[in-house]
Amino acid sequence: MARHGISFEEVCEAVDSILKQGESPTIARIRETLGRGSLTTISRHFNDYKAQHHIENSDQLTNSYSDPVSRAVESVWQKMRQEADEEIAQIKETSQAEIRNLQQILNDVELNLDATQQEYQQLTIKHEQLLENHNELETRHQALQADQQLKTEQLHALQQLHQTSLTQYQNRIEELTSQLNEEKELFKNNQQKLQQQYFSHCNQIEKNNEIKINQLKNNLKNHKINIDELTADLHHTQQLLTKEKTENNLSKNIKAQTEQLITIIQNHQNQQDSDLADLQQQQHHFNQKLADLISEQQQHSELKRFIIRKALKKTEKNMKKTLIAAALSLGLSTASFAGFVGPSSYEFNTIKAVKEHAKDDTHVTLTGHIIKQVGDDKYTFKDATGEITVKIKSRYFPSQDITPATKIKLTGEVDKDMLEATKIKAEKPIEILK
């Protein structure tokens, strides 16, 4: 517990008490009266007491101040006071040095404190910035999480839509394939029926021809018999003419009978030729009708296949458009659906590469020769790897003639069909290479 020093009032009370006792107040007597206190403190308060009461020396306080004891005490007090002043001066000097050191330390601390405060302010600013960045990142993270969840839901919906479209597409393909198989089966049955009708009709015509030929043979035999009879009659007539010597009448009769016989033979020959021409005309008419029926059936089948191909292409394109539109509506970022942008590992510059790897509507450039024409605007194109059908409009041909030996450069678009072989449709004018 801290000790309390002697107060000015306590010193004044002690001085008054000593004076009442008729004694001279000295520092030692005051301390003895108080029983405690520092001589320096008592001396300072006692000087203040004398200053307040306008006392210049201790003689004015008491007349007995000059006794030997008082002088001895005063001498001791002066010595103690001098030592105390020296000690106080030394303590003051030491204290001032310590104060200066502490002041220097305080200045250094203040400088460090200023630097620390500046650093603290900077750190506070950085902390606030980092906190703002953290809040911003947290907000962006939450937004990204929400956006990711939304896009995940949209992607799931797109996958479901894709699966539904794919299922519909496969069902449509199966339906069209079933229709095609039914058409093929119907065409096969019709073809078999037509072949049976054709063979039956041919057999019937052959039977009719055999009957007519047999009839003609019988007629011919009858004619021969008639000719033999007429010849016999002619011989008999000649004999009669010989006997009767009527050569003129016999010549006339022979001539008339001969002309009659020739007329009969010609009539039968004309009838046979007419019957044969009728049979040939009927056969030609039947063949023409059968060819027309087969051609009509083939055109019907081609039309069915064309409709199926168009429906498949239209379904496939609609599916692609649906997927592309759905992907665009999602607004997917490049990071979500990134892909390689650059040259493809497949370069479709040969017929083999086109047939094996190229997809429908792929743009290709081939170098080779047109070896023959297979349709109005269809040609067979050949290079070192194989052959393929190409469709070239007349406007894409150059003014110079092209032969199978002419090397050309063809640029076009791949046309792949499930029902037909892969083709290429020209999109640019043909370039003749030297």
| pTM attached to this predicted model | 0.30
Q: Does residue 1 lie within any of the structural domains?
A: no
Q: d(Cα 235, Cα 406) in Å, to the nearest integer?
A: 82
* Burial class of residue 46, CB neighbours in 10 A (0-12, 13-18, 19+): buried
Please indicate, yes or no, if residue 128 is contained in any of the structural domains: no
Q: Which of 59, 87, 116 is the last residue of a domain?
A: 116
Give the pLDDT confidence of 264-287 residue by residue, as tens digits.
Answer: 777 877 877 787 777 777 777 767
183-188 own/partner pairs: CB under 8 Å, 24+ apart: 183/301, 183/304, 184/301, 187/297, 187/300, 187/301
pLDDT of residue 225: 85
- Could you say which of 116, 143, 177 is where a domain stops? 116
Residue 336's nearest CA partner among 95, 150, 81, 125 is 150
pLDDT at residue 58, rounded to an integer = 52
Q: Which residues pair with 425 in a beta bridge?
A: 391, 413
Average pLDDT, integer, range 323-331: 63
pLDDT score at 390 = 96
Angle subtended by helix axes 27-34 and 8-20, to nearest 10: 100
Check whether residue 84 and residue 188 sit in a common domain.
no
What are 49-94's pLDDT values in tens digits? 888 876 655 555 544 444 566 566 666 767 776 777 777 778 878 8
Residues 190 and 283 in one domain: yes
Q: In terms of Cα–Cα distance, which of 401, 344, 410, 343 is closest to 381?
A: 410
What is the structure's pLDDT at 334? 40
Residue 337 in this model has a pLDDT that exceeds 50: no
Per-residue pLDDT tens digits for 168-221: 878 888 888 888 888 888 888 887 888 788 788 878 887 887 888 888 788 878
319 and 355 assigned to the same domain: no
- Residue 146: inside a domain: no
Question: How much is the pLDDT for 1?
Answer: 45
pLDDT, residue 113, reads 84
Q: Would you place residue 405 in the very low, low, confident or very high pLDDT band (cuts 50, 70, 90)?
A: very high
- pLDDT tens for 308-325 read 766 766 776 676 666 666
Residues 317 and 363 in one domain: no
Domain shared by 85 and 43, yes or no: yes
Do both 310 and 177 map to the same domain? yes
Confidence of residue 248 (pLDDT cuts 50, 70, 90): low
Q: Do 110 and 171 fall within a single domain?
A: no
- In angstroms, the CA 312 to CA 38 distance is 120
Q: How far, CA to CA in Å, does 80 sit from each of 44, 73, 87? A: 13, 10, 10
Q: For 396, list phi and psi in degrees, rounded to 5.
A: -90, -5
Pair (311, 359) in one structural domain: no
Length reported for the chain:
434
Reported as a pLDDT band with limits 50, 70 and 90, residue 249 is: low
Q: Which pLDDT value is given to residue 378? A: 95
Of residues 64, 75, 77, 74, the one with CA closest to residue 18: 64
Helix (H, G, I), strand (E, B) or coil at 432: strand
DSSP at 359: P
Report residue 330's pLDDT band, with 50, 70 and 90 as the boundaries: low
Shortest CA distance to 64 belongs to which of 33, 26, 28, 32?
A: 26
| Residue 2 pLDDT level (bands cut at 50, 70, 90) | very low
Residue 150 is assigned to a structural domain of this protein: no
Query: Which residue, chain included where needed, has tokens 């911003």?
Result: 136
Residues facing residue 370 across a β-bridge: 381
Fill in the amino acid letter for 55.
Answer: I
Q: Is the pLDDT of residue 333 over 60?
A: no
- For position 275, what pLDDT does the model report? 72
Mark whether 179 and 300 lie in a shared domain: yes
Same domain as 240, residue 167: yes
Mean residue pLDDT of the chain comes to 80
From 46, 53, 102, 98, select the one nearest 74 (Cα to Cα): 46
The residue out of 323, 339, 363 marking a domain boundary is 323
Q: Residue 24 has which token pair?
A: 């001279």
The answer as to whether 342 is a domain residue is no
Residue 412 lies in a domain: yes
Per the structure, the complete domain to which residue 197 belongs is given by 159-323
pLDDT range class, residue 403, cuts 50, 70, 90? very high
Q: Does residue 414 form part of some domain? A: yes
- Spatial contact of 201 and 286, defined as CB atoms under 8 Å apart: yes
Residue 343 scores a pLDDT above 60? no
Euclidean distance between CA atoms 290 and 298, whole angstroms: 12
Q: What distance in Å separates the CA atoms of residue 12 and residue 53, rounded to the nearest whole number?
A: 11
102-106, 136-140, 177-181, 384-388: range with highest mean pLDDT: 384-388
Over 60: is that where the pLDDT of 336 sits? no
Beta bridge partners of 274: none
- The span from the CA of 184 to the CA of 302, in Å, is 11
Number of domains within the chain = 3
Ranges assigned E (strand) in 135-294: none
The CATH number assigned to the domain holding 424 equals: 2.40.50.200
| End-to-end Cα distance, the chain | 119
280: tokens are 């040939």
Q: By percentage, how much of the chain surpasses pLDDT 90?
A: 18
pLDDT value for 350: 94
Judgement on whether residues 163 and 295 belong to the same structural domain of the protein: yes
pLDDT tens-digit map of 11-34: 898 888 888 888 888 888 888 888
Question: Quick one: pLDDT at residue 424?
Answer: 95
Question: If you average pLDDT over residues 419-429, what whole number do you get?
Answer: 90
Same domain, 191 and 42: no
Within a domain: residue 172?
yes
- What percent helix, strand, coil does the chain show, rounded to 5? 70, 10, 20
